[in-house]
Chains A and B, each alone.
Chain A
Amino acid sequence: MEIIMSILAGFLFTVGLYLILTKNLIRIIIGSSVLSHGAHLLLLTMAGLKTGAPPLLGLEADTYVDPLPQALILTAIVISFGVTSFILVLGYRTYKVTGAAETDQLRGTDTDE
């Protein structure tokens, strides 16, 4: 199971990186979001999957699942959610102000002229 998850995480990285390397602003934003989800999946997988019972008080079992990675990815997902919504607004604002939907139109600053 861990192998499949690792491959899936790698696949998400590939997709994310490919999207980030394209020129369209929206694709870049979606790419960054996919990339962080790949990282979250990796974080979850790294602690081992389904190694025991859910870590609940009162539940008798020999081994329990490590709850820490879940706490970590919850935090990471919330952060990535906030950042993604921020970039979406930033991308929209950039498009409104500069009229650029592609990165090559964003190149250079006014001081270069």
Chain B
Amino acid sequence: MSNWLILPVLIPLIAGIVALFFPKHVTAQRVWAFITSMILIGVNIFLLTYILSNGIMTLELGGWEAPFGIVFVGDSLATLLTTTTALVALPIIYFSFSTIGVEREKYYYYSFFQFLIAGVSGAFLTGDIFNLFVCFEVLLLASYALIGHGGTKTQLKESFNYVIVNVVSSAFFVIGVAYLYAVTGTLNMAQLSERVSEAGSEPIITVIAILFLIVFGLKGALFPLYFWLPGSYSVPPTAIGAIFAALLTKVGIYSIFRTYSVIFNEETAVTHTILLVLSAVTMIIGVIGAIAYRDVKLILVYNVIVAVGFILFGVASLNSDAFVGAIYYLLHDIVIKAALFLIIGALITAAGTSKLSGMGGMIKHHPLLTWMFFISALALAGIPPLGGFPGKLMLVVGGAEAGHYIVVAVMMVASLLVLYSVIRIFLQGFLGEPMLTHAEQHGSIKAQMPPIVFLVALSAFMGFGAEIMYPFVESAAETLINPRAYVEAVLGGNS
């Protein structure tokens, strides 16, 4: 049974490799990508329900017992995230059919996409910190290829920066692993948890914790390491921007969740204070960017940064309410960022520009798109009863419990400004004076509506169906608050 745990990685990997063999048959590529992501969703949902009823599942790769071999650990948090990943990948693949362009599809677009999903799922599932590094590299290499895919001038300019930033952060990751291994003599996260708590409050542990914060902060776009994000997320085609915004920063955030709850949970005074301050500054910087820019893509990209601040505030608060909030917000943010990016992609297709000043009156010709955007804008800001609300509520409750009132206040203000930044797109781009007649519209967006509706419905389900979601999220937060369960599930009797 535990072999099932490899499937979220294996399915996209095999799907990507098989797709390499018939690059020029675009229809076959599309059908294959669509079918495999459907299967991926099915397997993930099955795993999720199985783990909720039967507890944490582990898979020792190659039969090498933990802590000597590499383990995959399927706890609720990891499988919730892989399930959301799969649920977001399918609509984005569908959206790519009509937007990405046949040329890109012929040059292995779907293969790179699948490898990205494989890397992301692997990073969520692995229980070994060096394997986490390897999964990061898998998803990063796929993302390097995707960001420059098509090779337009602006894409190449930005991808060079993106690649160099990530190569440097990977080097730091290896350094962090080296120090950790020197101090503890293990790389298995469960055993690291034990060894680090035995080491107690040695200062070197704090140094290593901060080193990992730098590494994951760079991947997750935490202030002051977010500078690469606006450029590199806004230049590739919208479908690629959507999968990046939905998943890539979230992998960095997830790694902070994991390392800061399972491994570095002893000496929290220094590390979690740093995290708290940085998350607050990240929120502020993010909203300033979101309000300042008049380009719809950049407005959304800065909203990605705001969300990083919100979620990490939950980690910094370090209590179960805050963790529930952070996980709920993380899951919803994956869905809503993908939805918003796809909507903006459709909007840009229709308007022919990404500048706010060049669009207006979309509601006349595209009423469905308009209302989808309106709903997602409210969901992003966390207006009840939509999907962003439960997460944000729990974050506020958790933050107040921990006594971080100032940051809670910053968060409230930031949420309002987030709402303002997206409603501005609504007022100017969708309402307002129509700029174009129907004949002047730059292409049809009919084919792009199903994935958008699917994602918005998913986000609405996370709001209205909070009762159904809650037990999953609560059990995910439980493993973060109480890493003993995680450690015991991995090491069993031989710890």
Residues of chain A whose beta carbon lies under 8 Å from any beta carbon of chain B: 16, 20, 25, 28, 32, 35-36, 38-40, 42-43, 45-47, 68-69, 72, 75-76, 79-80, 82-83, 86-87, 90-91, 93-94, 97-98, 100, 103, 106, 109-111
Please report which residues of chain B, range 90-139, place their CB below 8 angstroms from some CB of chain A when the two chains form the complex: 130, 133-134, 137
Q: Most chain-A Cβ atoms within 10 A of its Cβ — which of B130, B144, B175, B178?
A: B178
Provide the residues of chain A in CB contact with B235, threshold 8 Å. Answer: 109
- Other-chain residue from A35, A43, A46, A86 in contact with B168 (beta carbon distance below 8 A): A35
Question: For the complex, is B397 an interface residue (Cβ under 8 Å from A)?
Answer: no
Provide the residues of chain B in CB contact with A28, threshold 8 Å. Answer: 164
Min CB gap B68→A, angstroms: 9
Assuming the A-B contacts A46-B178, A110-B153, are A25 and B160 also in contact, with contact meaning beta carbons closer than 8 angstroms in the complex?
Answer: yes
Provide the residues of chain A in CB contact with B234, threshold 8 Å. Answer: 109, 111
Could you list 18 further interchain pairs (A-B, Cβ under 8 angstroms) beyond the known A43-B178, A46-B179, A97-B152? A16-B171, A20-B168, A38-B171, A39-B172, A42-B178, A46-B181, A47-B182, A68-B187, A72-B177, A83-B170, A87-B163, A90-B160, A94-B156, A94-B160, A98-B153, A98-B156, A109-B157, A111-B234
A contact patch SS: helix
- Other-chain residue from A32, A47, A75, A94 in contact with B157 (beta carbon distance below 8 A): A94
Nearest A residue (CB) for B235: A109
B174 in contact with A90 (CB, 8 Å):
no
Q: Most chain-A Cβ atoms within 10 A of its Cβ — which of B133, B134, B163?
A: B163
- Other-chain residue from A43, A86, A98, A106 in contact with B174 (beta carbon distance below 8 A): A43
Question: For the complex, is B85 an interface residue (Cβ under 8 Å from A)?
Answer: no
Q: How many residues in B have their beta carbons less than 8 Å from beta carbons of A?
A: 40
Assuming the A-B contacts A43-B174, A43-B178, A69-B181, are A36 and B159 also in contact, with contact meaning beta carbons closer than 8 angstroms in the complex?
Answer: no
Please, could you name 17 A-B residue pairs with CB atoms under 8 Å apart, sorted by A? Answer: A20-B164, A32-B168, A39-B171, A43-B177, A45-B178, A47-B182, A75-B134, A83-B137, A83-B167, A86-B144, A94-B156, A94-B157, A97-B156, A98-B153, A109-B154, A109-B235, A111-B154
Assuming the A-B contacts A87-B164, A90-B144, are A110 and B154 also in contact, with contact meaning beta carbons closer than 8 angstroms in the complex?
Answer: yes
| A98 CA to B164 CA, complexed, in Å | 18
Question: For the complex, is B23 an interface residue (Cβ under 8 Å from A)?
Answer: no
Question: For the complex, is B200 an interface residue (Cβ under 8 Å from A)?
Answer: no
A36 in contact with B170 (CB, 8 Å):
yes
B164 in contact with A32 (CB, 8 Å):
yes
Nearest B residue (CB) for A25: B160
Question: For the complex, is B158 an interface residue (Cβ under 8 Å from A)?
Answer: yes
Question: For the complex, is B267 an interface residue (Cβ under 8 Å from A)?
Answer: no
Provide the residues of chain B in CB contact with A45, threshold 8 Å. Answer: 178
B163 in contact with A39 (CB, 8 Å):
no
| A90 CA to B137 CA, complexed, in Å | 17
Min CB gap B148→A, angstroms: 6
Question: For the complex, is B354 an interface residue (Cβ under 8 Å from A)?
Answer: yes
| A23 CA to B451 CA, complexed, in Å | 43
Question: For the complex, is B151 an interface residue (Cβ under 8 Å from A)?
Answer: yes
| A86 CA to B57 CA, complexed, in Å | 37
Provide the residues of chain B in CB contact with A109, threshold 8 Å. Answer: 154, 157-158, 231, 234-235
Number of contacts between A and B (CB, 8 Å)?
Answer: 108
| A91 CA to B156 CA, complexed, in Å | 9
B295 in contact with A36 (CB, 8 Å):
no
Provide the residues of chain B in CB contact with A47, threshold 8 Å. Answer: 181-182
Provide the residues of chain B in CB contact with A83, threshold 8 Å. Answer: 137, 141, 144, 163, 167, 170
Provide the residues of chain A in CB contact with B354, threshold 8 Å. Answer: 111
Min CB gap A69→B, angstroms: 7
Min CB gap A109→B, angstroms: 5
| A43 CA to B176 CA, complexed, in Å | 9
Q: Most chain-A Cβ atoms within 10 A of its Cβ — which of B134, B154, B160?
A: B160
B151 in contact with A79 (CB, 8 Å):
no
Min CB gap B297→A, angstroms: 8
B160 in contact with A91 (CB, 8 Å):
yes
Min CB gap A45→B, angstroms: 8
B167 in contact with A87 (CB, 8 Å):
yes
Assuming the A-B contacts A83-B167, A87-B163, A109-B157, are A76 and B174 also in contact, with contact meaning beta carbons closer than 8 angstroms in the complex?
Answer: yes
Provide the residues of chain A in CB contact with B153, threshold 8 Å. Answer: 97-98, 110
| A76 CA to B178 CA, complexed, in Å | 12
Nearest A residue (CB) for B230: A109
| A75 CA to B171 CA, complexed, in Å | 13
- Other-chain residue from B141, B174, B295 in contact with A39 (beta carbon distance below 8 A): B174
Assuming the A-B contacts A39-B174, A39-B178, A76-B174, are A106 and B160 also in contact, with contact meaning beta carbons closer than 8 angstroms in the complex?
Answer: yes
| A83 CA to B181 CA, complexed, in Å | 24
Provide the residues of chain B in CB contact with A25, threshold 8 Å. Answer: 160
Provide the residues of chain B in CB contact with A100, threshold 8 Å. Answer: 157
Provide the residues of chain B in CB contact with A97, threshold 8 Å. Answer: 151-153, 156
- Other-chain residue from B148, B152, B171 in contact with A36 (beta carbon distance below 8 A): B171
Nearest A residue (CB) for B298: A111
Provide the residues of chain B in CB contact with A36, threshold 8 Å. Answer: 167, 170-171, 174
Provide the residues of chain A in CB contact with B168, threshold 8 Å. Answer: 20, 32, 35
* Pairs of residues from A and B, 9 with the lowest C-beta to C-beta distance, nearest first: A46-B182, A39-B174, A43-B178, A46-B178, A94-B156, A39-B171, A32-B167, A106-B157, A79-B137
| A78 CA to B355 CA, complexed, in Å | 43
Provide the residues of chain A in CB contact with B174, threshold 8 Å. Answer: 36, 39-40, 42-43, 76
Write the B180-192 contact mask toward A (1 if CB under 8 angstroms, else 0): 0110000100000
Provide the residues of chain A in CB contact with B298, threshold 8 Å. Answer: 111
| A35 CA to B141 CA, complexed, in Å | 18
Provide the residues of chain B in CB contact with A87, threshold 8 Å. Answer: 160, 163-164, 167
